[in-house]
Amino acid sequence: MPRRNRPKNSKKESADEFNVDRLLGIQRSEIWSDGDWIVRRVTGSAATKPYRCPGCDQEINPGTPHTVAYLLGELEERRHWHTACWTRDRKKHKRDLDD
């Protein structure tokens, strides 16, 4: 039987398992002509439910990497977008780069 190099219940493994940033992606703010947005990329492994993309009105299947975005202060209004749909939608708005 092969020897294990680390204990079965290693602290490193359990710390990675509950690392919210790793599971949910890094959050950032983006300033656009239509407001200040909070944007987060969701990894495929963290995408466990189906969502409806507001950009194309198609389903985002579980396991599909995508983008979550909402206006600052409106967390309850967050929406899950296909990343390409979010990018296309943002082309309609001017980016404020004075931040």
pTM higher than 0.75: no
Is 72 inside any structural domain?
yes
Percentage of the chain lying above the pLDDT 90 cut: 60
For residue 66, what pLDDT is reported? 96
Q: What's the average model confidence in pLDDT over 79-84?
A: 97
Is 27 inside any structural domain?
yes
Is 12 inside any structural domain?
no
Residue 30: which domain range? 19-90
Q: How many domains does the chain have?
A: 1
Paired tokens of 2: 């092969």
CB atoms within 10 A of CB 42: 21
Is 11 inside any structural domain?
no
The tens digit of pLDDT for each residue in 19-35 reads 555 555 688 999 999 99
